[in-house]
């Protein structure tokens, strides 16, 4: 009797040998939906799908278990002699766990039954724009947050009164009904009461039976000093309220800082551009420099160069964590006069002659260097 060669389990599921457990699970779910026998109308197609379904299940049973996967990686299909593999007596409902339950949901268009569970409210995000100074110094902000909240009138029941809540006749108050599909028999949420087991005969006039109302709430928030664009912080339980007694979500505040006409931020350092005349740059001196705390006098060292950066300790932005603050960086831009008086031209010419940097000598030196390159 000829032997049948099994396909590699990783090949069956269409995953790499280094695939994670989650990737293996997703691959199996996809194949299970595609090849489930109950979804095939043609008997011939149903038979082929059943074989594919069995093959995928066998591969998943081995690769979804850490120990059996290790043995398979070491010994291949021969490891089946040590306790796994084979499709005899195959039961489509065996060995799937939560994966099979997820497939049920896809087939039947709903959950696996039971009363509606508490659902956590949605998280929200508020985009907060701050001025440059507000981000550096911090502030108390008032945020207007539109969100779903539990209805105070009915205390979240959705009914006008206690008498307006009756047991659902469709599911007899269980919140679920039994469905039969092929050889499957499962429970799903009751469509009449949406899985609550109760019917509201007289809805709450405030929320109209929705159990929640949409309103705007004002929150006072402390913005920490030193916050910057792209940062966000979380306010726990300040998101939308949950459903069926579920907890509220969280509120995230995302920060964007407006640009400043004078200052630029680099982490905790603050950069400012200083236009400096060439005389002060050459001889040194003192100039006033703007800072976030007002003007301050800065000593300019003799011989300061263009693009040189001077550092003012502790005048930058405060760090969010820790007590230290950054520095203010002063980048020097040396300005060259475009118009000279006769006296200024005379003095600069004398300076050039004295220092040996007269324009003629400079040109000769430049062209001389170029000439030497080709000799």
For domain 9-108, the question of CATH label 1.10.287.110 is answered with yes
Q: How far apart are CA 246 and CA 287, in angstroms?
A: 63
pTM of the model: 0.58
Six-digit token string for 121 = 């409210």
Least confident of 10-19, 59-68, 89-98, 100-109: 89-98
Q: Which of 122, 121, 119, 123 is nearest to 232 (CA)?
A: 123
Residues in CB range of 66: below 8 A, 6 or more apart: none
Q: How far apart are CA 157 and CA 206, in angstroms?
A: 12
Q: How far apart are CA 186 and CA 293, in angstroms?
A: 71
283 phi, psi to nearest 5 deg: -95, -20
In the chain, where the domains are located: 9-108, 142-215+236-249, 263-335, 342-373
User: How is domain 142-215+236-249 classified at the CATH fold level?
Assistant: Chaperone, DNAj Protein; Chain A (2.10.230)
Give the model confidence (pLDDT) of 303-343 as tens digits.
Answer: 999 999 999 999 999 998 777 899 999 999 999 999 999 99
Task: Say if residue 3's pLDDT is above 50.
Answer: no
Six-digit token string for 113 = 């039954």
What is the CATH number assigned to the segment(s) 263-335?
2.60.260.20
Radius of gyration of the chain (CA): 38
- Over range 106-124, report the average pLDDT: 65
Q: Which of 24, 7, 26 is nearest to 16 (CA)?
A: 24
């Amino acid at each position: 009797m000829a032997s049948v060669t099994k396909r590699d389990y990783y090949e069956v599921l269409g995953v790499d040998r280094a695939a994670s457990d989650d990737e293996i699970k997703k691959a199996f779910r996809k194949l299970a939906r595609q090849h489930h026998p109950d979804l095939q109308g043609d008997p011939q197609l149903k038979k082929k799908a059943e074989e594919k379904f069995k093959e995928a299940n066998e591969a998943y049973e081995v690769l979804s278990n850490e120990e059996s996967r290790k043995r398979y990686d070491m010994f291949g299909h021969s490891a089946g002699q040590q306790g796994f593999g084979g499709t005899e007596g195959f039961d489509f409902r065996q060995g799937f766990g939560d994966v099979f339950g997820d497939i049920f949901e896809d087939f039947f268009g709903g959950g696996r039954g039971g009363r509606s569970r508490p659902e956590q409210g949605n998280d929200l995000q508020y985009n907060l724009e701050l001025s440059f100074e507000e981000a550096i110094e911090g502030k108390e902000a008032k945020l207007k947050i539109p969100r779903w909240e539990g209805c105070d009138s009915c205390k979240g029941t959705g009914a006008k009164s206690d008498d307006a809540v009756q047991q659902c006749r469709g599911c007899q108050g269980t919140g679920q009904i039994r469905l039969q599909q092929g050889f499957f028999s499962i429970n799903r949420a009751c469509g009449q009461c949406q899985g609550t087991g109760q019917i509201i005969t007289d809805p709450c006039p405030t929320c109209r039976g929705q159990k929640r109302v949409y309103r705007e709430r004002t929150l006072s928030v402390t913005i920490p000093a030193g916050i910057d664009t792209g940062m966000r912080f979380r306010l726990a339980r300040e998101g939308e309220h949950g459903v069926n007694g579920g907890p509220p979500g969280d509120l995230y505040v995302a920060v964007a800082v407006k640009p400043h006409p004078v200052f630029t931020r680099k982490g905790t350092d603050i950069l400012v551009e200083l236009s400096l005349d060439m005389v002060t740059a050459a001889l040194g001196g003192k100039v006033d420099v703007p800072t976030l705390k007002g003007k301050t006098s800065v000593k300019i060292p003799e011989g300061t160069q263009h693009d040189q950066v001077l550092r003012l300790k502790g005048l930058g932005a405060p760090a969010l964590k820790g007590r230290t603050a950054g520095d203010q960086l002063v980048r020097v831009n040396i300005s060259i006069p475009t118009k000279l008086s006769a006296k200024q031209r005379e003095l600069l010419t004398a300076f050039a002659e004295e220092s040996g940097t007269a324009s003629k000598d400079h040109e000769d030196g430049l062209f001389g260097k170029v000439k030497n390159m080709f000799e």
